[in-house]
């Protein structure tokens, strides 16, 4: 009984296709996980700092054209509504801290989840509703990588009710 294994000959065309597939796979790979995670956390911190400083110009550059925010005040905001509310002071903080607890990157989408402490300005929408006490919130920010940079695509933030004594 003949136990030889027959291996098909590699033709130049097959080899070229294999190399092309490998090359394209490497060419389409995203940045290494650690580098991507670090970059996304830096962008998330920039977004927080921009809101804290009411940096509308910075937010305008960071916000994707399709940005949507499920705001803690109970409404969905578009990019244009967010920027208008930042300009008018409807969204304004006396103090704003954030702790990112989880980062997930899948291709060109990044999701950051964590907790925030947000003290609204008295004249802002949240200040009129809750006063100027620190509000504990849970948040999710979603970023998309386009043209070599991360853009802020979506956000959800909700106020965590204070624990009853």
Choose between 33 and 55: higher pLDDT: 55
Task: Please report where in the chains the tokens 């300005």 appear, as a residue.
Answer: 121
Whether residue 10 is contained in a domain is answered as no
Closest CA to 96 of 142, 164, 157: 157
Choose between 164 and 123: higher pLDDT: 123
Whether residue 146 is contained in a domain is answered as yes
Task: Please report where in the chains the tokens 């027959």 appear, as a residue.
Answer: 6
Task: Please report where in the chains the tokens 């925030």 appear, as a residue.
Answer: 116
Arithmetic mean of pLDDT, 36-48: 97
Whether residue 85 is contained in a domain is answered as yes
The enclosing domain of 51 has a CATH number of 3.10.450.50
Task: Please report where in the chains the tokens 């490497």 appear, as a residue.
Answer: 26
For residue 139, count CB atoms less than 10 angstroms from its CB and return exposed for 0-12, middle for 13-18, buried for 19 or more: buried
- Beta bridge partners, 77, equal 69
pLDDT exceeds cutoff 50 at 93? yes
Whether residue 16 is contained in a domain is answered as no
Render pLDDT for 121-152 as a digit per residue (tens, 0 to 9): 999 999 999 999 999 999 999 999 999 999 99
Instruction: Please give the residue range of the domain that contains residue 99.
Output: 31-159
Domain count, the chain: 1
% of the chain residues with pLDDT over 70 = 78
pTM of the complete model: 0.78
């Amino acid at each position: 009984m003949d136990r030889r294994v027959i291996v098909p000959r590699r033709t130049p065309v097959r080899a070229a296709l294999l190399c092309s597939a490998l090359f394209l796979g490497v060419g389409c790979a995203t940045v290494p996980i650690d580098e991507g995670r670090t970059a996304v956390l830096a962008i998330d911190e920039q977004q927080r700092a921009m809101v804290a400083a009411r940096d509308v110009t910075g937010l305008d550059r960071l916000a994707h054209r399709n940005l949507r925010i499920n705001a803690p005040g109970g409404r969905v905001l578009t990019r244009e509504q967010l920027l208008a509310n930042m300009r008018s002071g409807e969204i304004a903080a006396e103090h704003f801290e954030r702790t990112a607890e989880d980062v997930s990157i899948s291709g060109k989408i990044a999701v950051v989840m964590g907790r925030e402490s947000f003290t609204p300005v008295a004249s802002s929408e949240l200040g009129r509703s809750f006063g100027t006490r620190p509000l504990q919130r849970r948040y999710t920010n979603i970023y998309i990588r386009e043209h070599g940079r991360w853009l802020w695509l979506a956000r959800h933030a909700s106020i965590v009710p204070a624990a009853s004594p």
